[in-house]
Chains A and B, each alone.
Chain A
Amino acid sequence: MADAHKLEILRGLIKFKSNTQKIWGVLILLSIVTAIEVVLGIYKPEALEGKVIGMKILNWIFIILTIVKAYYITWDFMHMRDETKGLRRAVVWTGVFLICYLIFILLQEGGYIQGVYENGFVKRDF
């Protein structure tokens, strides 16, 4: 079992000699990503306040970095990289599909209700 680990990350860009070494490598990667998030979160650079597809660039960066972190936690800490394709797909695709659907309907509906408050005859500020 101990030899069954796949020891490369970033599509083979970084190769590790042992599983232990890979774990520390992934920790460094995750720490860097978190540090970037925190620094951006504190300083909020003006240049990233612009909007792309209805959301701030900064928020897109946060969400993408979060998914990157989630990928490495699942793939390397939870050893998803070493599981069979079938198990990987059964878990990941199910989750990704249902979560995307859920997010879409709820955010769509929330935006609609906001529009009703904004443009309708509901008084909220008193």
Chain B
Amino acid sequence: MDTTVVNTGTEGKTWGGGNQPLKASYGKMMMWFFILSDALTFSGFLAAYGFSRFKFIDSWPIADEVFTHVPFLHGQELPMIYVAFMTFILIMSSVTMVLAVDAGHKMNKAKVTIYMFLTIIGGLIFVGSQAWEWATFIKGDYGAIQTNGGNILQFVDNEGHRVALRDFAIVDEHKTRVEDQRKSGIWFTDNESLPTFTLEEVVSGFEANDNILIRTQQLTEDGKKTVLSREESIKQLKANGKAVVEGANLHVNEYGSPLFADFFFFITGFHGFHVFSGVVINIIIFFNVILGTYERRKNYEMVEKVGLYWHFVDLVWVFVFTFFYLV
């Protein structure tokens, strides 16, 4: 046994091992480095969004015109209000989380329980709001026409207010539109659902209403969308119109570039997934608190660690909010 050296003679010195220069527990430090790597992932997504936006800087959708809806206030244009509400909810739940951590330091089980509960409720409200926002975005509002080149043509009246397809399209009563089905072709597998109107119905409705103009994706000098003259509008619609687009999905997007929708789904989706997993982890910790696990362990560091994760989710949202909705 004496043949191996167990003493290096450096005990107690700086490089002798056993000292903790960062004065943080292993778990907390690992949580910090996980957060760092996750932050890099998110900034990768946001930077990719910036890349695509700079690539189409003169035709990118204006977020203020896309996210104008608030639940229960139907038909009103209220840009930013609902997202501001969501931001506030998330900051609020961050506050209750940090209060739970603080109560944990004081070994106050009752307070930790209450604050953890409030944090979970805040998280659930946020995830629910995001689901609603997705649903509204997917459903769409005004509808638009896609051109052969994949650009989007929207409709406005003389004063520049948006006009929905349903307000002017002339529905052909005698048409028979049959959705393709699996049995009607050998190689055919599936079909996208048919839009409410056909291209012909929109064109005939457009010709019958003299006061409707077309708005293209291109931005003017002062950052507004270009509106074409009546003659140009008809020409553009007839020459290039290809399909009716309602709402948004990964292929088409009635608000403009499909990339906008792709990034919206991907970034807010990835963030929403983080919020969801945060809520799940919070619930687990919440039950541990109730069962008295940390009371017996004589420290509430677990609450602090999930707290770090929860604050990080809030931190990411602050950036998503700025780069998706404000800038």
Q: Is A53 an interface residue (CB 8 A)?
A: no
Contact A62 B91 (CB under 8 A): no
Q: Is A98 an interface residue (CB 8 A)?
A: yes
B39, B53, B325: the one contacting A110 at CB < 8 Å is B53
Contact B44 A102 (CB under 8 A): yes
Contact A103 B318 (CB under 8 A): no
Question: Whole-angstrom distance between the alpha carbons of A99 and B55 in the complex?
Answer: 20
Query: Contact string, B33-52, partner A, CB cutoff 8 A, digits 1/0?
Result: 10110011001100110111
| Chain A: minimal CB distance from B305 (Å) | 11
Contact B80 A113 (CB under 8 A): no
- Chain A residues whose CB sits within 8 angstroms of the CB of B92 once the complex forms: 27
Contact B54 A111 (CB under 8 A): yes
Contact A107 B151 (CB under 8 A): no
A37, A42, A74: the one contacting B79 at CB < 8 Å is A42
Question: Whole-angstrom distance between the alpha carbons of A70 and B58 in the complex?
Answer: 30
Q: Taking chain B's interface residues, is the majority helix, strand, or loop, or is none over half, making it mixed?
A: helix
User: Known contacts being A41-B64, A114-B56, is A78 close to B102, with CB within 8 Å?
Assistant: no
Q: Is B209 an interface residue (CB 8 A)?
A: no
Question: Whole-angstrom distance between the alpha carbons of A20 and B104 in the complex?
Answer: 12
Contact B311 A77 (CB under 8 A): yes
Question: Whole-angstrom distance between the alpha carbons of A85 and B275 in the complex?
Answer: 29
Contact A107 B40 (CB under 8 A): no
Q: Is B29 an interface residue (CB 8 A)?
A: yes
- Chain A residues whose CB sits within 8 angstroms of the CB of B32 once the complex forms: 87, 91
Q: Is B293 an interface residue (CB 8 A)?
A: no
Contact B22 A126 (CB under 8 A): no
Query: Contact string, A22-43, partner B, CB cutoff 8 A, digits 1/0?
Result: 0110010011001001100110
Question: Whole-angstrom distance between the alpha carbons of A125 and B327 in the complex?
Answer: 25
Question: Whole-angstrom distance between the alpha carbons of A28 and B92 in the complex?
Answer: 10
Question: Whole-angstrom distance between the alpha carbons of A115 and B240 in the complex?
Answer: 25
User: Known contacts being A37-B326, A73-B318, A84-B24, is A23 close to B47, with CB within 8 Å?
Assistant: no
- Chain B residues whose CB sits within 8 angstroms of the CB of A106 once the complex forms: 47-48, 50-51
A70, A79, A125: the one contacting B151 at CB < 8 Å is A125
Q: Is B87 an interface residue (CB 8 A)?
A: yes
Question: Whole-angstrom distance between the alpha carbons of A73 and B91 in the complex?
Answer: 9
| Chain A: minimal CB distance from B223 (Å) | 8
A66, A79, A102, A114: the one contacting B318 at CB < 8 Å is A66
B93-101, B129-137, B155-163: which lies at the interface? B93-101
Contact B147 A126 (CB under 8 A): yes
| Chain B: minimal CB distance from A120 (Å) | 13
Q: Which residue of B lies closest to A46 (CB)?
A: B222
User: Known contacts being A23-B95, A107-B50, is A73 close to B315, with CB within 8 Å?
Assistant: yes
Contact B327 A59 (CB under 8 A): yes
Interface residues of A in 55-72 (CB under 8 A from B): 59, 62-63, 65-66, 69-70
- Chain B residues whose CB sits within 8 angstroms of the CB of A24 once the complex forms: 95
Query: Contact string, B268-310, partner A, CB cutoff 8 A, digits 1/0?
Result: 0000000000000000000000000000000000001001100
User: Known contacts being A23-B102, A107-B50, A125-B151, is A73 close to B94, with CB within 8 Å?
Assistant: yes
Contact A114 B55 (CB under 8 A): yes
Q: Which residue of A lies closest to B101 (CB)?
A: A79
Contact A91 B33 (CB under 8 A): yes
Some 27 contacts from A to B, beta carbons below 8 A apart, are: A24-B95, A27-B95, A38-B81, A41-B80, A62-B322, A66-B318, A66-B321, A70-B318, A70-B319, A76-B98, A77-B98, A77-B307, A78-B307, A78-B312, A79-B101, A87-B24, A87-B29, A91-B32, A91-B33, A94-B36, A99-B39, A110-B50, A110-B55, A111-B57, A113-B54, A117-B55, A126-B148
Sample of 9 further A-B pairs with CB below 8 A, known A42-B64, A49-B223, A113-B55? A78-B307, A84-B21, A103-B47, A110-B55, A114-B54, A114-B56, A117-B55, A118-B58, A125-B216
**B-to-A contact residues, CB < 8 Å:** 21-24, 29, 32-33, 35-36, 39-40, 43-44, 47-48, 50-58, 64, 79-81, 84, 87-88, 91-92, 94-95, 97-99, 101-102, 105-106, 147-149, 151, 216, 218, 222-223, 240, 304, 307-308, 311-312, 314-315, 318-319, 321-322, 325-327
